[in-house]
Amino acid sequence: MGGWSRRNWLASLALAAAGQGAIANAWQVRPKKRELGREKAPGQGKLALEDYEPKSMLHVPETKVPRARFPAIDFHTHLSWSARRGRVTEAHNNATPEEVLPVMDRKNLRMMVNLTGGYGNVLEQTINYWQKPHPDRFVVFTEPWFEKIIEPGYPQFQADQIARAQALGARGLKLLKTLGLYLRERVTTGSLVKIDDHRFDPMWEAAGAHQMPVAIHISDPEAFFLPTDRFNERYEELNAHPDWSFHGKDFPSNQELQEARNRVMARHPRTQFVVLHVGDSENLPYVSELLDRYPNMHTEIGARIGELGRQPRASRKFFDKYQDRILFGTDAVPRGNDTPQQIFGEQLYEIYYRFLETEDEYFDYAPAPKPPQGRWRIYGIGLPESILRKVYYDNAARLLGLQN
């Protein structure tokens, strides 16, 4: 939507403030029956949705959780980017280890997994920058070299890259939603390449053979696949990031993406998959069904406490049942200013810890004046210590092959 039409559209969403004056007036001059419900608030009482910042009036406990109860591994971070759009031949670091380490120490974060380590020279640079000097604090994953898909022999080349990445020190393989939603037959043109395309089979197998877990991001919130209209519960988020909408065009549906990923997990039972962002955080019954069906599936909670925390009873049961297969992660990006729910920093971790450790009610899921992913707040699930230990550390440590 363009600037003018967007403003116009927001104005039509304006919230009517029911002022005292209007009520008194209605009492004195009773409208005829057919006019009831047609009264409009006066113009000055209108407020654009984007300007609305209601403050909760609830008097409820606010627990500050400055440190995780147990040492934690953040399994989902982006300390660096590799090739995001087009070719990048140098690693782009979002911060320095010297900036990040003191925050980690204060938050009781023992380790961060930098998923977007890239491939080729970029991977080597990224490992040398983060992991080599601090092997007990940072580990780096590699990513597929998708640009090579047009070359003959790609399937074997990609499998060989996994072995090479491991030799360099990489500890796992990361798939952005590039696969399924962006990568096309001629990289940027042609039809979309399917997640379960057989050209990737040797890559999935190699990851399993080298005990490198696969961190995979497939699909997105369900609302991203629906029109960005007044019924969309993430209207403001999609309005701020129009490129996150996968409605229309030739995009597959959420269900098609999920099913393609499921076929990959079924086809490669020796490979361990960590399904990022809970997989389908609006549909925990579905994710539970998948965890029951695929023993090589694990799940991670990054950037989805907004979803988990608005269904605290279902979430608590989910954590109870799958306590050995849920990993702590935040999707943290240093200086990720356009996504408040992901800005690396003390506030971000305190919110996650509060969600996992307390039974506080109705608090913000992101350090932002307005909830950036949807107009709701969340509830803590107060996990017991035995589950916290697993979610914060043990489950990730096992997959990463760390010595406890």
Binding site for Zn ion (CB under 5 A): 331
59 Cβ contact list (under 8 Å, min separation 6): none
Q: Please say whether the beta carbons of 41 and 18 come within 8 A.
A: yes
What are φ and ψ of residue 112, in 5° steps?
-120, 135
Q: What residue spans of 169-311 are helical by DSSP H?
A: 178-181, 201-209, 235-240, 254-267, 284-293, 305-308
Place of tokens 């994710």: 287
Least gap, CB of 119 to Zn ion (angstroms) = 17
Q: Please say whether the beta carbons of 251 and 212 come within 8 A.
A: no
**Closer to Zn ion by Cβ: residue 126 or 358:** 126
Q: Which DSSP category does 394 fall into?
A: I
Least gap, CB of 223 to Zn ion (angstroms) = 18
Least gap, CB of 174 to Zn ion (angstroms) = 8
Least gap, CB of 254 to Zn ion (angstroms) = 18
**Closer to Zn ion by Cβ: residue 280 or 360:** 280
39 Cβ contact list (under 8 Å, min separation 6): 22, 26, 31
Strand, coil or helix: what is 73? Answer: strand
Token pair for 173: 């393989």
Query: What span, in angstroms and rounded, lies between the C-alpha atoms of 263 and 286?
Result: 15
Helix (H) or strand (E) holding 398: helix 395-400
**Closer to Zn ion by Cβ: residue 331 or 357:** 331
Q: How far is CA 109 from CA 7, 39, 70, 112, 336, in A?
A: 43, 55, 9, 7, 19
Query: What span, in angstroms and rounded, lies between the C-alpha atoms of 154 and 24?
Result: 74
Q: Please say whether the beta carbons of 63 and 99 come within 8 A.
A: no
In the bound complex, which residue of the shown chain has the CB atom lying closest to Zn ion?
331
**Closer to Zn ion by Cβ: residue 177 or 194:** 177
**Closer to Zn ion by Cβ: residue 291 or 303:** 303
**Closer to Zn ion by Cβ: residue 81 or 225:** 81
**Closer to Zn ion by Cβ: residue 307 or 331:** 331
Least gap, CB of 15 to Zn ion (angstroms) = 33
Of 109, 123, 246, the closest CA to residue 173 belongs to 123
**Closer to Zn ion by Cβ: residue 81 or 204:** 81
Least gap, CB of 341 to Zn ion (angstroms) = 11
**Closer to Zn ion by Cβ: residue 196 or 331:** 331
**Closer to Zn ion by Cβ: residue 124 or 331:** 331
The count of other CB atoms within 10 Å of the CB of residue 49 is 18
Query: What span, in angstroms and rounded, lies between the C-alpha atoms of 390 and 255?
Result: 30
Least gap, CB of 329 to Zn ion (angstroms) = 8
Least gap, CB of 93 to Zn ion (angstroms) = 16
Query: What span, in angstroms and rounded, lies between the C-alpha atoms of 33 and 16?
Result: 21
Least gap, CB of 29 to Zn ion (angstroms) = 57
Least gap, CB of 219 to Zn ion (angstroms) = 13
Q: Which DSSP category does 367 fall into?
A: S
